[in-house]
Amino acid sequence: MMTAEPLSAEIKGRVSAEVTRIRHDKGIAPKLVALLIGDDPISRTYVNLKRADCAQVGIISEIIDLSVLPRAEILSKVEDTVKMLNEDPSVNAIIPQMPFDGKVPEELVFSLLSPDKDVDGLTPFRLGKLMRKEYSLIDSLLPCTPKGIVTLLLHYGVKIDGANVAIIGRSVLVSEPLRKLLQDLNATATCYHTHSREFKERIMDADIAVVATGRPPEMYPSGGFRLFGEMVKEGSVIVSVGSRKDSTTGKTLFDVDTASMKGRAAFLTPNIGGVGAMTRATLLENTLIATILQLG
């Protein structure tokens, strides 16, 4: 099992030490602000977890909840808030928590966001750097979940060079940046989606399968998609990314049925304490990187 807890703790330890040094040398504390725009309950859980993570390492954090505003007012408020945070020298990092539930255009929010404070790596500038391979896995502002996944794979010694990788989903948040990062490490990575033909056969051939479908409608045209053990080849590496609330039962459903992977997958991320933990640790790391870049 590729649990993230030891690696996450290691990253937090490094970040905490650097935050302490910055406090001592510069007299400031890094500050992260999360914007909650959509009504998604899992998003609300994540921002609260991120706030707790920040407290552990000495980063100041704030949540600005705009989800309660009437739809007619939210766009202008988001625009004003992002501009205000961009100009606030005490704010080093900003993360608009996805998804926005269609309340505001995603591309508008990220076009307004300062690339220097973009700790999820989703502004046009940051994505352009990624596409042009003008980045470092160590000290660049890359999308948190893809960077966290690659860091976890490398930590466990998973062979990426030459691997066939099936990424289920095609979001700009996870799937597409992850495809590029893996490609830059010499994997052959392909994103599969609702219009992909014979994608289940491609999954069966994959050395690494990453399931990042998450919320409807991606890969949920008729009620749901989950990856089960019989759908992958023996000895493959399975990464579970997405989760959603079942509209009938209210239970959280994950993209991978981990129980059915036992005895089949060589490496498997747990649904709890896996990719989510790496995403949060990477956000702390990115907040530190943004702070250092701003301090010169």
Any bridge partners for residue 118, and if so which?
Answer: 94
H helix or E strand, kind and range, residue 36: strand 31-36
Tell me if residue 97 is catalytic: yes
Kindly name the residue from 31, 40, 53, 97 that is annotated as catalytic: 97
Cβ contacts of 154-158, under 8 Å, gap ≥ 24: 155/7, 156/2, 156/267, 158/208, 158/237, 158/267
Tell me if residue 120 is catalytic: yes
d(CA 275, CA 269): 7
**Residue 45: CB partners within 8 Å, gap ≥ 6?**
none
Kindly name the residue from 50, 117, 147, 180 that is annotated as catalytic: 50
User: Which of 149, 278, 282 lies closest to 210, judged by CA?
Assistant: 149
User: Which of 15, 33, 184, 44 lies closest to 118, judged by CA?
Assistant: 33
Tokens 């129980």 — which residue?
259
Kindly name the residue from 40, 53, 118, 120 that is annotated as catalytic: 120
d(CA 119, CA 285): 9
CA dihedral angle for residue 210, residue 216, residue 217, residue 219, rounded to 10 degrees: 30
Residues acting as catalytic residues = 50, 97, 120
